[in-house]
Amino acid sequence: MGYYDDGQYRSTKKRSPGSNSFLRWVTVVVVSALIGSAFTIVAAPIMLQNNLVQLPVLTNPNLSNTSYRALQPVTVQINNAVVQAVKKVRPSVVGVINFQMLPNNGANGYTLQEEGVGSGVIFSHHGYIVTNYHVVQGASKVEVVIHKKYHVYASVIGYDPYTDLAVLKIPSSYVTAQDVAQFGNSSTLQAGEPAIAIGNPAGLDFADTVTSGVISATQRTMPVIDEATGSVIGQQTELQTDAAINPGNSGGPLCNIMGQVIGINNSKIVAQGFEGMGFAIPINEVRTIVDQILATGHAIHPALGIEGESLSAVPAEYQPNVPVNYGVWVVKVVSADARLGGLEHGDVIVAVNGQKISGITSLRSVLWKSYQPGQYVNLTVYRDQQKLTLHLKLGELPPPQTTPSVHSSPPSGSGSGSGGSNGFTFP
């Protein structure tokens, strides 16, 4: 957007009838100021010289016959709400180090090397930690740094690439009651509320860095990007904040003024000309996904039981003969429920229960936001020129096939600020 010059546009309106009065008032003020200045310059020294006025003199009782103006140090106690919120949350914030088997520099073979550093939040006295999936993606080993000094091996309990969340676990003996974060309620947030981010930007040398701002918006639809491929694998609703989110902040908390975690920081816009546009996964969604991971080892998402592709991405030679240019083209029907519901190869899905479907990410977003496996939905589809309504049962999306090397994941580039596509980076 660039910038604007405040003096670029000037009013051309004529003065109002009161303008002359205003000018007279300004003239009086200016003349009075000049008279006062002249008195100070000319009359004041004369009065001081003739002892007509005296300035107060402060005398140091410890130094005889010595006068001076005493300068005393002033102690100010800063103990406002932001400080208290940080003190409450900071013990729960940890560093998360991603180790991967990487080629040796100038030598044969591979060794375990640090690939990136992110952040995490302890949310249970049993030692459970929530972080971003991209922070632990592809790791051969995950290490958690507590209180900036204790390096502890962490196991990966489960993860969900589609919401960019993962759950780690460390021995409970390392966790005290003060180390456990309190989750807030992201559904009650309003734009303009204070927001505080804590994390490890640029690695552990800047551990527990605090930035603050406001909640800029509460419902921004953002792409979920697979860091390994740079491809968009879904969309989700996130919080927007102008609190600085930098590489290494991923997985760390976004807090409210009460010291409650209201989001998990995961991305920012880094396109040229943009500033102060960071994003966090709302804590209510985090809570849901974390509960599912703890129960099953993975998140639970509904699915139609098809392999599909956005119609707009289908090559021209394979474009179906339908009267729309949007929707999901069914490449293959893979579940019995989908076949039973009447879906066929070549169908184009354009709506779920009347809600428009523009493409594959739109379909995932609509299903995951509003439905559960086992529910029935009405699909609006085009089969050639014919418009149909199909009634079918939703299945469950299979767990992700990408698994960490030793059931411990890393932050692929999280410490180095490697980015995804479309102007987004995952710190």
**CA separation for the pair 308, 376 (Å, rounded):** 19
Catalytic residue among 92, 119, 140, 164: 164
Vertex 55, ends 50 and 59: CA angle to 5°? 125
Query: Does residue 226 carry a catalytic annotation?
Result: no
Among residues 119, 134, 179, 365, which one is catalytic?
Answer: 134
Q: How far is CA 93 from the centre of its chain?
A: 15
C-alpha pair distances (Å), 152 with each of 39, 68, 94, 337, 388: 73, 59, 11, 46, 57
Catalytic annotation present for 242: no
Active-site hit among 250, 267, 335, 414 = 250
Burial pattern 288-307, b for ≥16 Cβ within 10 A else e, equals ebbebbeeeebbbbbbbbbe
Burial class (CB in 10 A: 0-12, 13-18, 19+), 115: buried
Which residue in 285, 235, 236, 293 sits closest to 261, CA to CA?
285
Which run of H or E residues covers position 113? strand 110-122
| 143 Cβ neighbours under 8 A, 6+ residues apart | 96, 97, 99, 151, 152, 153, 154
Which DSSP state fits 22? Answer: H
Say which residues have a Cβ less than 8 Å from residue 90's Cβ, sequence separation at least 6: 198, 208, 210
Answer yes or no: are the C-beta atoms of 331 and 306 closer than 8 Å. Answer: yes
Query: Is residue 64 annotated as a catalytic residue, yes or no?
Result: no
Place of tokens 């411990």: 408
Give me the active site residues, please.
Answer: 134, 164, 250
